[in-house]
Structure 1
């Protein structure tokens, strides 16, 4: 669905001389054979680069939306790459000294996006794909930190406030954030008064369920979905080839990532979802009794954040309104 969303920032058009300047250390003296401006993603600019006399391609990624995310991506690669499939980062400029935007250069990873498989644009064994996606999510969640929070300056977390050292009231913080997204006249502007009231009633009546995740200190990708998951076939079996784009990562509950993954549940084949949950649990992931309601509550954070957009950004706002209606209409089935 994201292909019909408008970008947050215009694509950066780089000339050949600029590309050569940025890429030269990674190219090790080789000339650029081709530079393809990619249209994947909606926040940053990416180029696929091939070099003369080199078989492998590279990806140049310029961080437009959040320059600080560059350092976070590099440090997460260093932390995770031994156990989580990632695109190998070869070079990075955290500060943007060379061009004005921070950037990374990584190896191109051949594979199929899971969104293409689920949309029927590519074929794969759905059970194998799902199992690998769930198992990898559990592995990501096995990386824990001192306390929940958001990263800054790489992987540093702010020290928790004194009152958060005791058990946190998850519902209070959750409702405060959703309220800031909805009111006054923010997401409410797109949803309308009646739909906003129904949504607010649902979250206030169910936010207590989030207490099951209190104190979770797992690494969360925060955009763990089909557009960021590449798979390929190795030794006759499909497996995850790379988890892409870690710019939104934070510390919290892995159920946040499950909510993202299962967002468009009506598009997910049963065998994919079942295998994903099996892989997640068999590799250490934990599903509390009300896990599905919790994942939907978590994903409403993403949905309401998107709905703060001042413009409709193509189909984005309409897609989010559809998701709110779907959640309200199907809540009792979760």
Structure 2
């Protein structure tokens, strides 16, 4: 699902903003460092007197709703703790202050050993490290760049199934310790480890849906009351057609745009099966918004980041977001993710064996919106590739 986002003009954190946040925290800020940021937020690491650090996100809409969603989400999955919400800092931009966390962004892990930190348990995004060009994010529409730095729940809260980890990691009775990839911190994960990582990520993503609401839709305020609106099955045809009218001509030719709008209209009735679902959906569930750690006993998800676009709806949307560019992931991860997600959906949700297909139909909202971005945007161009693939071969199952 997609909604409009206020995009603030971004700039470096001003001295008066730093001072105002320091005053609110009651501790001196001794250094600042701009981290990877993007469309509607600027993300800055603040190093504090006496040691320690926090992360500040400046700009965008009032973060009170996101803070409330994060507080709710913390009951179900590892979510950063929000320390402060400031509607206006130094008579300027709103800010949210979050506690810093160690962990490796999942996209770094999936990219391979050349991008991994020497110690898999150390922070991949420390002060001054710009993880990536902000425009290269593979994610949902109007996405705020990830904060690879926020608070997690306590270690051990989220673990992979030990049997799955041991089966794929060269461990267990009779295993040769020298063959275990974890014995060499600089080596990349094996296929078995990547499957175990996928299982763990799938389990956590499914867990987000444990939070429920009285109806599907978008949150109207920090009380997380959900505004009533037409069902998704009714919204998709008109939304897709509107988006196709805004796509740069260099990205998709008229025939593909028309075919995509027709495909969305044809598949929209399928969503009547989940129109009434009213569960917490993260809505930007991509590898850059997850921090993970490869520990001695398996993978752990340390934090789920960036909840700005959350809404009440069907959890299959989050799974489809993660799977959107699944062909780019290394062997083992996608298989594990699908298994972990399916096995750990909340037990009170009705079972549907066609959940992958339904999720992809929900993802048609995001793909339609993504390709409306200006020409030259690499994420939009990647989404256009998917649209052409779906038009040629049908909605994936």
- Normalized per residue, the structure richer in strand is 1
1:328 aligns with 2:391: yes
What TM-score, normalized by structure 1, do the two folds share? Answer: 0.85
Alignment check: 8 A CA contact 1:296 1:327 kept: no
Alignment check: 8 A CA contact 1:44 1:63 kept: yes
Shift of 1:208: 2.2
Q: 1:211 is matched with which residue? A: 272
In 2 relative to 1, CA 15–171 (structure 1 residues): closer, same or farther, beyond 3 Å? closer
Residue 81 of structure 2 is aligned with which of 63, 81, 88? 88
Separation (CA, whole Å) in 1 of partners of 2:70 and 2:228: 25
Q: Counterparts in 2 of 1:94-133, with a 5 A limit? A: 95-96=87-88, 98-120=90-112, 121-122=115-116, 123-124=188-189, 125-133=193-201
In 2 relative to 1, CA 324–333 (structure 1 residues): closer, same or farther, beyond 3 Å? closer
Q: 1:14 is matched with which residue? A: 13
Separation (CA, whole Å) in 1 of partners of 2:396 and 2:82: 43
- Normalized per residue, the structure richer in helix is 1
Alignment check: 8 A CA contact 1:87 1:242 kept: yes
Separation (CA, whole Å) in 1 of partners of 2:300 and 2:106: 11
Alignment check: 8 A CA contact 1:23 1:105 kept: no
CA RMSD in angstroms, aligned pairs only: 2.3
Between 189-198 and 225-234, report the one with greater CA deviation: 189-198
Deviations 1:101-154 (A, max 9, x none): 211111111111111112223344322321221111221101110000101222
1:58 aligns with 2:120: no
Deviations 1:149-173 (A, max 9, x none): 1012224335536xx6xxx5x4322
Deviations 1:28-76 (A, max 9, x none): 33x323211112443310001112321x321011132xx13x0112112
1:306 aligns with 2:367: no
Alignment check: 8 A CA contact 1:71 1:154 kept: yes
Runs of 4+ in 1 over 6 A off after TM superposition: none
Between 293-302 and 123-132, report the one with greater CA deviation: 123-132
Unaligned runs of 5+ in 1: 1-7
What TM-score, normalized by structure 2, do the two folds share? Answer: 0.72
Residue 66 of structure 2 is aligned with which of 73, 79, 82? 73
Separation (CA, whole Å) in 2 of partners of 1:100 and 1:118: 38
Q: 1:279 is matched with which residue? A: 340
Q: 1:222 is matched with which residue? A: 283
- Figure out how many residues of one structure are paired with residues of the other and give that number: 311
